[in-house]
Amino acid sequence: MTGQMVRWREFTDPVRFERSATDFILKAAADAIAERGAFRIVLAGGETPRSIYARVACAHADWDRWHVYFGDERCLPPDDPGRNSVMARSAWLDRVAIPTAQIHEIEAEQGPEAGAQGYAATLSDIGPFDLVLLGLGEDGHTASIFPGGRWDRMAGGNSTDDDVAIPPVVPVFDAPKPPSERISLSPGRLGDARRVLFLVAGKGKQIAVARWQAGDPIPASRIRPRGGVDVFFLDSAPR
């Protein structure tokens, strides 16, 4: 079993946290565009990235080279404010000139099974992502990979080899964080990336972070890109 390499960076100032995350994203984009002519980014859900997305929206970037994907989506109607895509659109995507055809939302309104199948087809000819953004839940979940979830059991534990056997996009029916029905990229697909950046903010995350640092097999520790993951942790925010 290959372990996860983690580079930790702790912040106490929210503005520094947001600026550093924004710089990380823009640098990953510039590098990918210089090397390969395109930038494929996977967005995180939840609330933590909102202010960072708003900062990215103010940058001057080669938007027509950006291709946007989502790490997970909640099975809600397309314009429901609870959708991760709606948050990303209002904070960022609706304000910049990324061609609509290059924004690949998960059609979660179709339900977990059909939506997962559709997104697997969308990703079928996409190689490694350039950057995957992820959040961390208080129980250690990331994207919609929750502890003890259906395919967490299917994977037989915390093994990279087992993760390879899980389909790249999975339906989730029993998420403890509402809504219970979701669609998520698998640990293996999320880890098939040149860079992975976790954005973690709030006192409520301290226990999960401590467990992660202690080597507990939380879902976040199953994302194992070859180059390791970066974690930006802001522990001062009262969220």
- Contact residues toward ligand 6PG (CB under 6 A) are 44-48, 72, 74, 84, 135-137, 141-143, 177
Shortest separation between residue 65's beta carbon and ligand 6PG, angstroms: 25
What is d(CA 169, CA 183) in angstroms, rounded to the nearest whole number? 7
For the bound state, the minimum distance from the C-beta of residue 227 to ligand 6PG, rounded and expressed in Å, comes to 21
The secondary structure of 45-58, three-state, reads CCCCCHHHHHHHHC
Between strands 193-201 and 229-234, the pairing is parallel
Q: Which is nearer to ligand 6PG, 46 or 149 (CB)?
A: 46
CB of 142 to ligand 6PG, least distance (A): 5
Nearer to ligand 6PG, 45 or 187 (CB): 45
- Give the number of other CB atoms < 10 A from CB of residue 186: 24
The least distance separating ligand 6PG from the CB of residue 219, rounded to whole angstroms, comes to 9
> In terms of CB distance, is 149 or 225 closer to ligand 6PG?
149
C-beta closer to ligand 6PG: residue 71 or 225: 71
Report the alpha-carbon distance of residue 123 to residue 115 in Å, rounded: 12
Q: How many residues are there in the chain?
A: 239
Q: Which two tokens stand for residue 238?
A: 């009262």
Token pair, residue 84, equals 């991760």
